[in-house]
Amino acid sequence: MLKRTDYLTKTYGKPEGWTLGVYERECHGYQTARRVLSTMKKDDVVNEAKKANIRGRGGAGFPMGVKWSFMRPHPTKPAYLVINADEGEPGTHKDRTIMELNPHSVIEGCMIGCYGIGAHVAYIYVRDELHLSKARLWAAIAEAKAKGYLGARPFGVDYPLDVVVHTGGGAYICGEETSLLNSLEGRRGEPRLKPPFPAQAGAFGCPTTVNNLETIAAVPSAFHMGCEAFSKLSAIHHLNDGGVRLFGVNGHVKNPGVWECAVGLTLRELIYDLGGGVLGDKPLFAIIPGGSSTPVLRADELVHAPDEKSPLHPWHGQSVLDVPLGVDTFRGIGTMLGTCCATVLAEGTCPVAAMHNLMQFYRHESCGQCTPCREGSGWLLRITEKILDGRGTMEELDQLHDIANNIMGNTICAFGEGTAMPALGFLKKFRREFEAYVRGEKKKSTDGRLTVDHHDFVGG
Amino acid sequence: MTFALTPERDQELEQILKRYPNRMAALIPVLHLAQDQNGWISEEVVEWASRRLDVPPAHVRGVVTFYTLFNQKPVGKHQVWVCRTLPCALRGAGQLLAHCEKKLGIHAGETTADGKITLRTAECLASCGTAPMMQVDKTYHENLTPEAVDALLDELRR
């Protein structure tokens, strides 16, 4: 169901939309934080937040309010809120727009979040490459401090609050929450073993909540209208997947971009109504629904959910393009919602070349800590490269499955799955194309295309 | 030669230290500060950071070698990063990179003979909706056409 909204994006496109003046005028700026801090108790904030059914927008989809409720006051240690803005999953380009165009929603969200979990400092971890995003966040913090919203007594309430922007060093793995915490502490961004979970021992060994940037930016809107009402904006509120979120589309569409809609939009609406359809009016070939780690979908796939108790049963027999984009609905069709930014592949795109491109990414970004991932990502890349170059064998094609399956579940963090799942997705859904390369029926030079004829970058 | 920050940057370092409960946490922002001045992280910078933040030099080296953005050898005056990952590749990043390589007469990973430009590939820069794109020093250039790239590179070589 296509329902455009503008809770997070009202300031987008407005002149100087990132400034405090516009935020206060257009978005009831900081009124919600003022009300929450002056009238609500900490526990009530967490209980209210649970009703918003905000599923983590970073990819895992964990309910935000439930995550907040894991925080327990420590007798001696402070608590921290850490915001993950290390946006770097290929195909994901949404958090950046919030930081650049509505940074005050992030700061206000941090204030409410900090108050709810008992923290006085929030660290926003932004990947270093996003220089404009960092500058806009720092400027927003300075404006909020000048008004006395951030500082020793926000709105006259005795609850000191500070927000700090931290910068990364160029490593995709730092989007994994424990790796991010190590990076925040000035260490190599290697993920930590869990437990202890961040709520027990996170940043600097203290209780910590890590939330995605879009997740925290939605908090002021949710609390302003009432969290339950916010949740009900979603078409799949009944599946505990509430509110509004940013939807992105990229790749072979005529009009790539980011839009805010109520949760429950379908891929068909995202690609054709918002994205303007496939480049060159070609047939749709495949979709990576929410960042490169989410297994690819074929355009001709149908939902198989004959069981009446399945939440997907209403869409049984329909195209996967018509399933509402939700955390549980997309898990149900064998992929993941991820970051909700879809990459579109038009007819004529080579799935072997696409997998090869992604395996280069994972090979480059594996932190090297766990052997199955460090070595496996290299083997996945090398064998895919051999097949693409026409030097692969059927035995090696099967080996790709074994290697991917040996990564799954055998690593400290989810990067291993993030590498293996898309590899298995391409291998299972496009087996025939891989075999065609092995048999010499297809060649990289003529068939290994990633671009379509229209709108190519045509330099020479 | 020992390394030291300019007085202005040193003041910024003092500000950075105030943000964290310990000195080690300032390491990555401080290395960026040093690289902005020095162009790369030399052994002198490592020793300096180790002293300044009271962490072992081996720890600093570990961090420098982990993160892509820290240069472990001198680079050109300008750094051009072409995003090569799938969403950009679907919109011509491969052709964009080939165009840059041809125009500059170098391969990705190399620096032009005059020392002006280092050309590199980047993994996803969160700009998938505005592909193809490249980052020049600290600025993003998006929705690139051959003409726009030519103008950009000419400007950098001037």
Q: What is the pLDDT of residues A66-103, one digit of tens each?
A: 999 999 999 999 999 999 999 999 999 999 999 999 99
Alpha helices by DSSP H, A305-390: 327-332, 351-365, 371-388
- Measured between CB atoms, does B155 come within 8 Å of chain A? no
Query: What domains appear along chain B, each with residue ranges and CATH number?
Result: 7-66 (1.10.10.1590), 78-157 (3.40.30.10)
List, in sequence order, every beta strand (DSSP E) within A50-98. Answer: 79-85
Question: For A163, which residue in chain B has the nearest alpha carbon?
Answer: B19
Report the relative pairing of strands B117-122 and B78-83 from DSSP bridges: parallel
Distance between alpha carbon A249 and the CA centroid of its chain, in Å?
13
The whole-angstrom separation of Cα A282 and Cα A260 is 26
Q: What is the token pair recorded at A244?
A: 């509004």
Q: Using the structure block, give the residue that is written with the tokens 């939309």.
A: A17
Query: How many residues make up chain B in this entry?
Result: 158
Backbone angles phi, psi at A341, to 5 degrees: -120, 110
Of A22, A125, A184, A155, the residue nearest B25 (C-alpha): A184
Report pLDDT digits (tens) over A356-407.
999 999 999 999 999 999 999 999 999 999 999 999 999 999 999 999 999 9
Asked if A143 and A112 touch (Cβ cutoff 8 Å), the reply is no
Distance between alpha carbon A57 and the CA centroid of its chain, in Å?
5
Could you give the C-alpha distances from A47 to A41, A63, A70, A156, in angstroms and in order? 10, 12, 12, 24
* Alpha-carbon dihedral sign for residues A200, A48, A153, B19: positive
Write out chain A residues lying below 8 Å of B68, CB-based. 169-171
Beta bridge partners of A284: A346
Which of 81-110 (B) contact A at CB < 8 A? Answer: 81, 84-87, 89-96, 98-99, 102
Test mutation, A120, A185, A457, A458, chain B, max B CBs within 10 A: A457
What are A325-329's contacts with CB under 8 Å, separation 24+?
A: A325/A247, A325/A263, A325/A264, A325/A265, A325/A266, A325/A267, A325/A270, A325/A289, A325/A290, A326/A236, A326/A239, A326/A241, A326/A263, A326/A264, A327/A55, A327/A61, A327/A241, A328/A239, A328/A240, A328/A241, A329/A236, A329/A239, A329/A241
- Measured between CB atoms, does B134 come within 8 Å of chain A? no
Question: How does residue A454 score in pLDDT terms, banded at 50, 70 and 90?
Answer: low
CB atoms within 10 A of CB A454: 13
pLDDT of residue A455 exceeding 60, the answer is: no
Helix (H) or strand (E) holding A185: none
DSSP three-state, residue A284: strand
DSSP three-state, residue A279: helix
Judge if pTM exceeds 0.90. yes
CB atoms within 10 A of CB A457: 22
The whole-angstrom separation of Cα A355 and Cα B58 is 37
Backbone angles phi, psi at A439, to 5 degrees: -80, -5
pLDDT at residue number A459: 54
Q: What is the token pair recorded at B24?
A: 């080690």
Report pLDDT digits (tens) over A421-432.
999 999 999 999
The whole-angstrom separation of Cα A68 and Cα A81 is 10
Q: What is the token pair recorded at A384?
A: 């895919």
One DSSP character per residue, A202-215 reads -GGGS-EEEEEHHH
> Residues with Cβ < 8 Å from A314, sequence gap 6 or more?
none
> Does the distance separating the beta carbons of B28 and A251 come in below 8 Å?
no
What would the mean pLDDT of A137-149 be, rounded to a whole number?
Answer: 98
Asked if A287 and A345 touch (Cβ cutoff 8 Å), the reply is yes
Backbone angles phi, psi at B36, to 5 degrees: -55, -35
A-B interface: how many C-beta pairs under 8 angstroms? Answer: 181
Whether omega for the bond prior to residue A195 falls within 30 degrees of 0, making it cis, is yes
Question: How does residue B1 score in pLDDT terms, banded at 50, 70 and 90?
Answer: confident
> Does the distance separating the beta carbons of B149 and A357 come in below 8 Å?
no
Question: How does residue B50 score in pLDDT terms, banded at 50, 70 and 90?
Answer: very high
Helix (H) or strand (E) holding A422: helix A415-429
ipTM surpasses 0.90:
yes
Report pLDDT digits (tens) over B61-120.
999 999 999 999 999 999 999 999 999 999 999 999 999 999 999 999 999 999 999 999
- Measured between CB atoms, does A366 come within 8 Å of chain B? no
One DSSP character per residue, B3-30 reads ----HHHHHHHHHHHTTSSSSGGGHHHH
Mean pLDDT of chain A: 97
- Measured between CB atoms, does A456 come within 8 Å of chain B? yes
Nearest-Cα distance to chain A for B96, in Å, is 6
The whole-angstrom separation of Cα A258 and Cα A235 is 19
The whole-angstrom separation of Cα B52 and Cα B48 is 6
Report pLDDT digits (tens) over A225-259.
999 999 999 999 999 999 999 999 999 999 999 99
pLDDT at residue number A460: 46
Beta bridge partners of A249: A257, A342
Question: How does residue A458 score in pLDDT terms, banded at 50, 70 and 90?
Answer: low
DSSP three-state, residue A44: helix
User: Which residue from B24, B128, B139 is facing A185, i.e. has the nearest CB?
Assistant: B24
Beta bridge partners of A287: A297, A344
DSSP three-state, residue A175: helix
Nearest-Cα distance to chain A for B130, in Å, is 7
Question: How does residue A457 score in pLDDT terms, banded at 50, 70 and 90?
Answer: confident
DSSP three-state, residue A433: helix
Question: Helices B146-157 and B93-104 sit at what angle, rounded to 10 degrees?
Answer: 40
Helix (H) or strand (E) holding A420: helix A415-429
